[in-house]
Amino acid sequence: MDDQACPRCKTTKYRNPSLKLMVNVCGHALCESCVDLLFLKGSGSCPDCNVPLRRSNFRVQLFEDSMVEKEIDIRKRVLKDYNKKEEDFATLREYNDYLEEIETIVYNLCNNIDVVGTNKRIEQYKKDNKELIMKNKVKIGREEIELEEILETEKQMEELRRAEISRLEQEAKKQKIREKEALIDELMFAEGDAKEILNTFAQNIAKKEEIDVIPIIPKVTQFSTGVKFSRGSGSQQGVPILEEGPLYKYEAPVIPDRCGPDPPSIQNIISKGYLQHVRAENETEKAGGYTSTLPCLRALQDAMAGLYHAS
């Protein structure tokens, strides 16, 4: 931005590093000194386009391209009246047409295309939708007030957090100073070995650090403050935390004692022809881990349980 210059006095940013360029509704820039000279008599117009200007409408130019500043100003002015939301329309198509209309108005005003007709179009829209515009302005104002209250609450909580951290740090420093003074006194007046005293002191400090851990205070953020932010109706409730029970531990079922012989083992079922009377598993069942040996063993176990009783 060193090559930027005031169009009136031709002062550049290179020659005057403290130069402040200011823009108005027309989008043309002037330096701060020229703005003061322009309104020396109480009123003035733009040197480039002769548009009547107000001193209060001048602001510091933030972007290198002054047209961006002009578009931002026009867009803010248009959106004050074109403030409908998506819920105000019956279909998404109507809402998209409404957004396209806004962009057409902004483009025309930024590029000086049919400015008179565009302004008449805005005035007609304001007349036709006066009640809805006022209703939406009140709603937006209420949301801005709620947002300001949330930001102020977060700011206060952040200050309290910083004060608490500072207090804990000061207490820790004072504690270290007291411990060092106690160590020096013990080395000066105690009759024991200095090396043992130092070792004992180091062990005590290590144990104390394990016990006295400075709590980590969570940083206040927009999402972790716990502030209830309600836009519209009702406030958002947090997800309830469910207490978890103990982890499941598998325990094998208790097999009752039997008076008769035990059922055949899996090896005997395979080798002694038990599977000849059981349907063989197909490929799909094999893929799932199913084998015909298991139902055969279960059937034999049930048969044995029916013949013998548990003691």
CATH of the domain at 53: 3.30.40.10
Give dist(CA 105, CA 264) in Å, integer: 90
Domain boundary among the residues 191, 212, 233 is at 212
Q: Is residue 155 part of a domain?
A: yes
Phi, psi angle pair for 130, to nearest 5°: -60, -45
Domain boundary among the residues 15, 47, 64 is at 64
Residues 6+ apart with CB under 8 A from 98: 82, 84, 89
What does each of the 311 residues of the chain score in pLDDT, given as a tens digit?
Answer: 446 777 778 888 778 777 788 877 777 777 888 888 877 766 677 777 777 777 777 777 777 777 787 888 888 888 888 888 888 888 899 889 989 989 999 888 888 888 889 889 888 888 888 888 888 888 777 777 788 888 888 888 888 989 999 999 998 889 888 888 888 877 777 777 777 878 888 888 777 776 665 555 555 454 444 444 444 444 445 556 667 778 888 787 776 665 566 788 888 888 888 888 888 888 888 888 888 888 888 888 877 776 655 55
Alpha-carbon 185 to chain mean position: 53
pTM: 0.39
Residue 21, number of CB atoms within 10 A of its CB: 23
Domain boundary among the residues 160, 183, 212 is at 212
Q: Would you report the helix, strand and coil content of the chain in percent, each value rounded to 5? A: 55, 5, 40
Q: Is residue 55 part of a domain?
A: yes
- Quick one: which H or E segment has residue 45? strand 44-45
Residues 6+ apart with CB under 8 A from 172: 214
Range of the domain at 145: 133-212
Give dist(CA 82, CA 256) in Å, integer: 81
Phi, psi angle pair for 22, to nearest 5°: -125, 145
Q: Is residue 256 part of a domain?
A: no
Give dist(CA 37, CA 9) in Å, integer: 11
Range 205-235 burial, b when 16+ CB lie within 10 A, else e: eeeeeeeeeeeeeeebeeeeeeeeeeeeeee
**How many helices, marked H, and strands, marked E, lie in the chain?**
9, 5
Domain count, the chain: 2
